[in-house]
């Protein structure tokens, strides 16, 4: 315990900064990733075979590619195609793309829980398909997927550790632990503090998700 | 002649030669000459090995666990077609292997980066590290060094059309790449404190960053930069002359190991019988257009 | 089986709607093809279609080299997955145990391993443990943290499956006089497996993805071999593209295989 307090005395503010950076990366990757996933899901519903095919390939690629491989491709290979993206946007882009693929998958499963009868009823009321999607299908699908989306958000938060693999401006928690462990002997306390921060954040998100799920869940 | 003056004249030679893009894809190493040189290296007798616990352990294990690079053009590049690594560091490593085990190929290779070099020795993942490894007091606290077997200074590499940066003095406010865990960050902190530093895990990644325009300059060991120039695509140039303290390259060994004395004795042997000079010619001299062989640094 | 939603939404279109759909499909296809052409052109403009960047892929030595890397990836993944499945079961039993002294530490351990990034655990094995005197081999420095991290997730997957088994099964088994252990291992757990195979396979895919961090501990796997090829041929884009495709293919194959394994469900 003495080690930890000494560590916090030396590195306390740096740890807080790293925690905020982790949170920041999580949020700015999740929002576009989630929105993009929703767009992909809706587009996949349209009866346009070429579009469905391309989007299915998109989802399969970004679900199966290791995030580190994708990040390295964006940071180191894309510039050879004359597309130079700075480090922080590269990390955000990587996380958002992967998040969108998983979101599309989960939303699709959520849509499958909606009884077909509702859509038939809406059609017989004269509603246009796009209106049905936005007014009937999507709201219920979103309410049905709160639990897997919570897990996805936690996984995304843990994936921000990727930023330690490129010359990122600023250190998030994992990069900070690696630096402290290399420069000093305080590796174990640093790891304990970082782990505590990650676990606490994850539990917070899980609690928020569970509360949201109870309110939003549709009992059929 | 000292290595310093050799480097200066090498640059001059290169400047002339690269103008004619003779080395379109870099002069590949003379594999036959390299393999022949390693094959005729000395082999230690039982008594010499027995005098060192480090060497005895390796002899007993039957393989030498080596930490090095496979992606450094002049020092150690793996040819994936025949599975052999060749270069100045690779040659020394294979000569040491042959010295202890009788066969230069009996090593087990682990790829290290500039930030994992100490840790693999501390973790006992490897027996020795040969990877353009500069001897610094900070590192000497965690591990031991044999050698030095080469010296270099720092240099600044910029794109050929960059007229703004003429030396390390012009780096203020510019983006400079360097290798994480190398002497680069300290040198930049001392000579160009106002530069925006980006640290990369390997030499190749830093070179690519320069080529792709992510950074304005790359500061690292001068010899590694000659590496880049030897590829002769003509779009990089050295800004200014080598600067900073003489950077000795050493062979990393576990802390306090008696392998230090063993390897130092072997290095002196190589330097005395001309193998060091021949290795330099094959791996560096012929490929950078320099004919004057430098004298190796003195070993304490 | 009810029809998928989009069939209900867009099924039975009028001839007018059909014509419109066909036209829009055509436009969509044209736009996508233009996009693809644009990407190929970008490759060409950047000089990435030059033969020297791709010709080494025609040599069997290149593929043999990549295959070696892939083998390293699979060797670590297979072991990590096997350990995770077994260790996950141990954690599950602890999690479901009656005595609080067993249950609470299990919950804490599961939350701890689930709640920290695998990369952080890998760094700990590489940088921190050795100074505490624990020196693992390179292989285990990668495989152990991945297996621990995955075991915790697997334990939760098992738990979800156990909770999904109908209560009646446990009651009937108990009324037949089976012991708690027999109830769990003979009746509940086998049925759990049928529900959770897709989730377990998803974890296997994550294990394969985690092995790409091998270079952090200097373990030789596919990413590392890719870097050697790049250093030899300076073909950043082609090599990384091919390696990314290899990873996608391997993971896709694993996911596909699970669809075959997923047997009949209640």
Query: What pLDDT digit, counting tens, does each position of C44-97 carry?
Result: 888 878 777 888 888 888 888 889 889 999 999 999 999 999 999 999 999 988
Task: Specify whether C198 is located in the same domain as C223.
Answer: yes
Task: Specify whether C143 is located in the same domain as C31.
Answer: no
**Yes or no, beta carbons of A81 and C48 under 8 Å apart:** yes
d(CA B145, CA A56): 55
* Mean pLDDT to the nearest integer, B258-269: 91
Is this prediction's ipTM beyond 0.90? no
* pLDDT band per the 50, 70, 90 thresholds, residue C98: confident
* pLDDT band per the 50, 70, 90 thresholds, residue B24: very low
Residue of B121, B212, B219 to mutate when probing chain A, most A C-beta within 10 A:
B212
**Yes or no, beta carbons of B212 and A167 under 8 Å apart:** no
**What is the CATH number for C196?**
1.10.3720.10
Q: Residue B232's pLDDT is what?
A: 57
Residue of B78, B125, B126 to mutate when probing chain C, most C C-beta within 10 A:
B125
Nearest residue of chain C to residue B67 (CA atoms): C218
Asked if B77 is an interface residue toward chain C (Cβ–Cβ < 8 A), one would say yes
Does residue C119 lie in a domain region?
Answer: yes
Residues of C in contact with A174 (CB under 8 A): 117, 119-120, 123
**Yes or no, beta carbons of A76 and B208 under 8 Å apart:** yes
Task: Specify whether C161 is located in the same domain as C237.
Answer: yes
DSSP sequence for B229-290: HHT--S-EEE-SS-EEEEEEEEEEE-TT-THHHHHHHHHHHHHHTTHHHHHHIIIIIHHHT-
Kindly report the nearest CA distance between residue B169 and chain C, in angstroms: 31
Residues of B in contact with C138 (CB under 8 A): 110, 125
Task: Specify whether C106 is located in the same domain as C221.
Answer: yes
Q: Residue B99's pLDDT is what?
A: 92
Q: Residue C51's pLDDT is what?
A: 79
**Yes or no, beta carbons of C137 and B79 under 8 Å apart:** no
Does residue C164 lie in a domain region?
Answer: yes
Lowest-pLDDT range, A16-20, B44-48, B105-109, C220-224? Answer: C220-224
Does residue C132 lie in a domain region?
Answer: yes
Task: Specify whether C185 is located in the same domain as C76.
Answer: yes
Check: CB of residue A165 under 8 Å from CB of residue A76: no
Task: Specify whether C103 is located in the same domain as C204.
Answer: yes
Q: Is the pLDDT of residue B20 over 50?
A: no
Does residue C39 lie in a domain region?
Answer: yes
Nearest residue of chain A to residue B204 (CA atoms): A76
Task: Specify whether C16 is located in the same domain as C82.
Answer: no
Does residue C52 lie in a domain region?
Answer: no
Query: What pLDDT digit, counting tens, does each position of B58-67 carry?
Result: 999 999 999 9
Q: Which of B199, B205, B213 lies nearest to residue A84, judging by beta carbons?
A: B213
* pLDDT band per the 50, 70, 90 thresholds, residue B9: low
Does residue C50 lie in a domain region?
Answer: no
Q: What does the CA dihedral A62, A66, A70, A73 come to, rounded to 10 degrees? A: -140
Q: Where are the alpha helices (DSSP H) in chain C?
A: 5-10, 15-45, 51-54, 60-96, 100-115, 118-123, 138-164, 167-175, 180-182, 189-210, 222-233, 236-261
d(CA A147, CA A142): 10
- Chains near B (3 or more Cβ pairs under 8 Å): A, C
Task: Specify whether C80 is located in the same domain as C137.
Answer: yes
Query: What pLDDT digit, counting tens, does each position of A69-114 carry?
Result: 999 899 988 888 888 899 999 999 999 999 999 999 999 989 988 8
Query: What pLDDT digit, counting tens, does each position of B82-100 carry?
Result: 888 899 999 999 999 999 9
Q: Residue A220's pLDDT is what?
A: 73
Task: Specify whether C16 is located in the same domain as C130.
Answer: no
Q: What is the tally of structural domains in chain C?
A: 2
Q: Is the pLDDT of residue B23 over 50?
A: no
**Yes or no, beta carbons of C231 and B125 under 8 Å apart:** no
Q: Residue B260's pLDDT is what?
A: 92
Kindly report the nearest CA distance between residue C234 and chain B, in angstroms: 9
Task: Specify whether C39 is located in the same domain as C65.
Answer: no
Does residue C36 lie in a domain region?
Answer: yes
Query: What pLDDT digit, counting tens, does each position of A180-212 carry?
Result: 887 777 778 888 899 999 999 999 999 999 999
pTM confidence score: 0.84
Sorted by where each starts, the structural domains of chain A and their CATH numbers stand as 2-216 (1.10.3720.10)
Q: Which of A76, A167, A182 lies nearest to residue B199, judging by beta carbons?
A: A167
Q: Residue B119's pLDDT is what?
A: 86
Q: Residue C106's pLDDT is what?
A: 93
- Identify the domain containing residue C20 by its residue range: 5-45
Q: Residue C265's pLDDT is what?
A: 43
Lowest-pLDDT range, B13-27, B234-248, C165-179, C202-216? Answer: B13-27
User: Is residue B154 classed as helix, strand or coil in its secondary structure?
Assistant: strand
Task: Specify whether C83 is located in the same domain as C203.
Answer: yes
Sorted by where each starts, the structural domains of chain B and their CATH numbers stand as 29-150+258-286 (3.40.190.10)
Share of chain B above pLDDT 90, in %: 24
Q: Is C100 exposed, middle or buried (0-12, 13-18, 19+ CB in 10 A)?
A: exposed
Q: Residue C266's pLDDT is what?
A: 36
Q: Residue B19's pLDDT is what?
A: 31
Q: Is the pLDDT of residue B71 over 80?
A: no
HEC profile for B210-227? Answer: HHCCCCCEEEEEHHHHHH
* pLDDT band per the 50, 70, 90 thresholds, residue C17: confident
Task: Specify whether C17 is located in the same domain as C94.
Answer: no
Q: Is the pLDDT of residue A116 over 90?
A: no
d(CA B144, CA B127): 12
Q: Which of C120, C208, C240 lies nearest to residue A161, judging by beta carbons?
A: C120
Does residue C118 lie in a domain region?
Answer: yes
Q: Is the pLDDT of residue B17 over 50?
A: no
Q: What's the longest Cα–Cα distance across chain A? A: 71
């Amino acid at each position: 315990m003495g080690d930890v307090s000494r560590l916090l005395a030396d590195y306390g503010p740096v740890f807080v900064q790293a925690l905020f950076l982790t949170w920041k990366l999580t949020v700015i990757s999740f929002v576009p990733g989630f929105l993009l996933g929703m767009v992909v899901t809706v587009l996949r519903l349209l009866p346009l075979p070429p579009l469905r095919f391309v989007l299915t390939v998109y989802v399969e690629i970004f679900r199966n590619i290791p995030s580190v491989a994708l990040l390295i491709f964006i940071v180191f290979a894309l510039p050879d195609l004359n597309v130079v993206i700075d480090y922080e946007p590269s990390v955000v882009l990587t996380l958002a793309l992967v998040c969108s693929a998983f979101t599309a998958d989960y939303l699709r499963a959520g849509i499958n829980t909606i009884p077909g009868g509702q859509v038939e009823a809406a059609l017989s009321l004269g509603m246009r398909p796009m209106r049905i999607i936005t007014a009937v299908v999507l709201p219920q699908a979103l309410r049905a997927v709160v639990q897997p989306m919570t897990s996805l958000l936690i996984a995304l938060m843990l994936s921000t550790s990727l930023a330690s693999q490129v010359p990122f401006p600023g250190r998030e928690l994992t990069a900070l632990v690696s630096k402290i462990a290399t420069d000093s002997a305080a590796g174990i306390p640093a790891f304990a503090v970082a782990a505590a921060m990650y676990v606490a954040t994850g539990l917070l998100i899980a609690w928020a998700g569970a509360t949201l799920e109870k309110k939003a869940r549709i009992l059929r | 002649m000292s290595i310093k003056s050799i480097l200066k004249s090498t640059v001059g030679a290169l400047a002339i030669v690269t103008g004619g893009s003779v080395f379109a894809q870099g002069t590949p190493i003379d594999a036959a000459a390299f393999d022949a040189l390693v094959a005729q290296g000395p082999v230690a007798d039982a008594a010499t090995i027995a005098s060192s616990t480090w060497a005895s352990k390796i002899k007993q294990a039957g393989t030498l666990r080596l930490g090095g690079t496979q992606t450094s053009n002049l020092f150690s590049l793996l040819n994936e077609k025949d599975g052999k690594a060749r270069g100045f560091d690779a040659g020394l490593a294979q000569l040491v292997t042959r010295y202890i085990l009788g066969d230069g190929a009996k090593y087990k290779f682990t790829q290290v980066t500039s930030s994992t070099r100490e840790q693999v020795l501390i973790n006992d993942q490897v027996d020795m590290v040969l990877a353009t490894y500069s001897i610094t007091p900070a590192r000497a606290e965690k591990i031991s060094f044999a050698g030095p077997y080469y010296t270099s200074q720092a240099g600044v590499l910029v794109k050929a059309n960059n007229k703004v940066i003429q030396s390390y003095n012009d780096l203020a406010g510019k983006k400079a790449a360097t290798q994480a865990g190398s002497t680069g960050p300290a040198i930049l902190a001392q000579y160009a404190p106002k530069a925006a530093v980006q640290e990369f895990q390997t030499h190749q990644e830093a070179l690519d960053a320069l080529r792709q325009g992510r950074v304005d300059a790359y500061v690292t060991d001068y010899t590694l930069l000659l590496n880049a120039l030897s590829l002769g695509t003509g779009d990089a140039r050295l800004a200014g002359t080598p600067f900073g303290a003489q950077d000795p390259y050493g062979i990393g060994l576990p802390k306090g190991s008696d392998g230090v004395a063993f390897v130092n004795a072997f290095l002196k042997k190589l330097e005395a019988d001309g193998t060091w000079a021949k290795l330099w010619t094959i791996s560096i001299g012929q490929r950078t257009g320099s004919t004057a062989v430098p004298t190796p640094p003195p070993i304490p | 089986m009810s029809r998928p939603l989009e069939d209900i939404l867009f099924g039975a279109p009028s001839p007018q709607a059909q014509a419109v759909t066909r036209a829009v499909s055509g436009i969509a296809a044209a736009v996508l093809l233009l996009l693809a052409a644009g990407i190929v052109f970008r490759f060409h403009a950047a000089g990435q279609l030059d033969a020297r960047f791709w010709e080494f892929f025609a040599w069997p030595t290149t593929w043999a080299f990549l295959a070696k890397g892939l083998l390293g990836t699979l060797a670590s993944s297979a072991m990590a997955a096997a350990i995770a499945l077994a260790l996950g079961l141990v954690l599950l039993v602890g999690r479901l145990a009656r005595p609080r002294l067993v249950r609470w530490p299990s919950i804490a351990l599961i939350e701890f391993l689930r709640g920290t990034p695998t990369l952080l655990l890998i760094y700990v094995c590489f940088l921190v443990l050795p100074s505490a005197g624990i020196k693992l081999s390179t292989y285990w420095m990668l495989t152990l943290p991945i297996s621990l991290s995955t075991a915790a997730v697997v334990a939760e997957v098992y738990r979800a499956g156990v909770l999904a088994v109908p209560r009646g099964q446990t009651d009937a088994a108990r009324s037949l006089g089976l012991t708690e252990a027999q109830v769990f291992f003979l009746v509940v757990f086998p049925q759990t497996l049928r529900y959770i195979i897709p989730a377990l396979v998803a974890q296997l895919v994550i294990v394969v993805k985690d092995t790409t961090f091998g270079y952090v501990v200097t373990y030789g796997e596919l990413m590392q071999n890719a870097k050697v090829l790049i250093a030899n041929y300076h073909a950043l884009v082609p090599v990384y593209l091919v390696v990314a495709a290899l990873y996608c293919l391997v993971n896709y194959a694993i996911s596909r295989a699970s669809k075959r394994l997923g047997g009949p469900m209640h």
